[in-house]
Amino acid sequence: MNIAKLQLLMAQSKVNNSNLASMSGVSDVTISKILNGADAKISTIERIAEALKVPVGYFFDDSTISQVNTGSSNVVVGRDNNGHITMAECQNQLDDALREIKHLKEVIDAKDKLLQEKERLINVLMNK
């Protein structure tokens, strides 16, 4: 989680730790721990994002946004067994998915070529 982005958003929204705790239903202590670099559960980040009206991904993006999202946001992130977010795991899963997509495209292309060859053979046999 990008703590600097959380701090920036809090400053822009004129929200202090206590206000954010109250708005999100997360304890003051937890907010302080997060702002001091502690890992946060995805459920906690979701509650903070909802309270600040930004998508969860805002806290993991390299860029900053000035607009506020008033709708709900669905963001899939990797979590370890303790519920902590791991961006490396997200990237690994994305890389795996992209490799699988590439492989499946190759399989489809090979099957298309095989189908074309079978159709050609049928045409040759039918014309004898």
Report pLDDT digits (tens) over 61-111: 654 444 444 444 444 454 555 556 566 667 777 888 889 999 999 999 999
- CA contacts within 13 A on the Cβ side of 117: 6
Give me 62's structure tokens.
């390299």
Enter the pTM of the model.
Answer: 0.48
CB atoms within 10 A of CB 72: 9
- pLDDT for res 61: 62
- pLDDT for res 74: 47
Residue % of the chain over a pLDDT of 70: 77
- Cβ atoms of 53 and 69 closer than 8 Å: yes
